[in-house]
Chain A
Amino acid sequence: MVDLVEMTPCAGLVPVTAGALRLTEAAPGWVTVLAPYKGQQGALGRALAQAHGLGWPEPGEVIAGKSGAVQWFGRDLALLVGPEPAAALAKHAALTDQSDAWAVLRIEGPGATAVMARLTPLDLRESVFGVGRTARTDVAHMAGAVTRAGTDAYDIMAFRSMAASLVHEVAMAMRRVAARTQ
C-alpha cells in the first residue's frame, strides 16, 4: 500500500533568508472562492456575517475576524480564508474549494517593500496600498494577489503550479535588495 504524504506547495523551497529579509510559507487553511449569484452580494454578506462573523468586502479590502478572513479577489469574487465554508453560503454563491490551488508566501523584514517593487507594478506607497489592503496584480509576470500584512510584510499568492518560479523570483529580488543594503 502506497503511503501518500501531504506536501504544502512550497515544501522544500522555503524558508529563504537574505540579510534581514525572510521568506516563509503561510498555511492559510481552507481557501474557498466565493462567486455570488446575480444580485446576491448583500445576502451573501449577511450570511457571511451570521456564519463566520465576516462580511462581503469592498474592492481591495480584507475583512478579518476571529475565525478567518474574507479577501477581495476580483470583480464579484472573494476568498474565504481559514474556516470551512458554512453550508448556508451555497444558497447565495458558487463556492469553489481552492485550498490546495494557491501557494501563499510571507515576505517580511526591512526592505520588503523594495523587494515587492521589483516584482509587481503596484503602487506600494502606504497612502495608496496601506496595511491590510489586498490587490490582484502581476507578480513577476504571474497572475497573483498581494496583501499587505504590515509596513514591511506582504503575503503573496500565486498558482500552486508556479510555486517554484515564485520562490525563485522572490528570493532573487531579496538577495539583490539585501546586497544593496549591506
Chain B
Amino acid sequence: MRIPCPLCGMRDLREFSVRGAALPEPEGAAWSAAWDDYLHNRDNPAGESREFWYHGQGCGAWLVVTRDTVTHEIADVVLAGAEAGA
C-alpha cells in the first residue's frame, strides 16, 4: 500500500503509522454518551473509512486518509488541521 502525502507525494506504507478512526470530537467537556462513544466505540467498516495516519518517517505531518478497507483504494488524503473536524 502507498499513501499520496499532500506534501511528499506518493510514499511507501513503511513511512507511515496509523492512529485510528478520525472522529469529530464531541462538544463540551462534561461526560456524556457522545464522549463514551468517541472514546470507546468503534465501527469496523468493510468499506470506506476515515483515519488518522502519521507520516513519521517523512514530513512529520498528521494526515486524514479516506480509504476503502476492502479494496485498499485511497479516495482522499488531506493534512490534519487543514479541514474542519479533523
Contact indicator A123/B15 (Cβ below 8 Å): no
Q: Which 10 pairs show the lowest CB-CB distances between chains A and B? A: A121-B12, A75-B61, A138-B57, A59-B7, A74-B59, A74-B60, A75-B59, A136-B58, A136-B59, A138-B15
Neighbouring B residues of A138 by C-beta, 8 Å = 12, 14-15, 57-58
B10 near A: Cβ within 8 Å? yes
A128 near B: Cβ within 8 Å? yes
Closest chain-B Cβ to A15's Cβ sits at a distance in Å of: 28
B residues in contact (CB < 8 Å) with A: 7-12, 14-15, 56-61, 79
A122 to B8, CA, bound (A): 10
Number of interface residues of A (CB under 8 A): 14
A143 to B57, CA, bound (A): 5
A82 near B: Cβ within 8 Å? no
Neighbouring A residues of B79 by C-beta, 8 Å = 75
A138 to B60, CA, bound (A): 12
In the complex, the chain B residue whose C-beta lies closest to that of A142 is: B57
Neighbouring B residues of A143 by C-beta, 8 Å = 56-57
A143 to B8, CA, bound (A): 15
Neighbouring A residues of B11 by C-beta, 8 Å = 121-122, 137
In the complex, the chain B residue whose C-beta lies closest to that of A135 is: B8
A60 to B58, CA, bound (A): 11
Known: A137-B58, A138-B14. 11 other contacts (CB 8 A): A59-B7, A59-B59, A74-B59, A75-B59, A75-B60, A75-B61, A121-B12, A121-B14, A136-B8, A136-B58, A136-B60
